[in-house]
Amino acid sequence: MTARRLALFDVDGTLVDSQAHIAGAMAAAFAAEGLPLPPPHEVLGVVGLSLPLALAALAPDASAERLDRMVEAYRQQFFALRVGQAASPLFPGAREALALLAGVEGLELGIATGKSRRGLDAILKAHGLAGQFATRQVSDDHPSKPHPSMVLAALAETGVAPDRAVMIGDTEFDMEMGRAAGVRTLAVAWGYHPADRLGAADAVVERFADLPAAVLALVGETA
């Protein structure tokens, strides 16, 4: 009998290239308050945190009231971009890798993302992936990464043991979250954090074509 296993994916920078939408929404948030926009590497460096924490990191001197307004401006602009433009694209090879993993006996797929439920539902629907994931953990229901709450909830929901699960993401926050929850960690090199911030990962993959084999190696192919 094959033990149940779990491959838990981040979304932005891992499955989906949302850089253009993130940059546009962040520009709107700072412009709304007349603040200079931080350089792109700083904006991408906070991807993975919840939106309030990300904005607080980028604008550390802003008051709580100003940050609240920036959060709302970001959300409004991100929604406008999502409605007015095509959905953020999947990274090349993502769909094929997900399909391959979905066919592995005893392996569940899940999501742990800093996106809101509305945002996640929209992107999954746009790409025809709404039925692909057994568990979907979002920022509405949990503390920000790297708190392990999302991973722990996914394990509880699927009944998978930590040593049979892997967190897959592109940021150090994903890696820290996975390690805090006691699961294996797999970093992807095509996302928003540079390699020197992914050193805590159990493994790193450079191409989506290599991801399925890396996932199975980390969670164990047999009981």
**Catalytic residue positions?**
10, 12
For residue 88, CA distances in Å to 12, 17, 222 come to 9, 6, 36
Are the beta carbons of 204 and 166 closer than 8 angstroms? no
**Strand ranges across the sheet with 203-205:** 135-137, 107-112, 5-9, 165-169, 184-188, 203-205
Pairing of strands 203-205, 135-137: unpaired
CA 84 to chain centre: 23
Q: Please provide the DSSP assignment of 133-163 as one string.
A: -SEEE-GGGSPPTTSTHHHHHHHHHHT--GG
User: In this structure, which amino acid lies at residue 220?
Assistant: G
Q: What is the CA radius of gyration of the chain?
A: 17
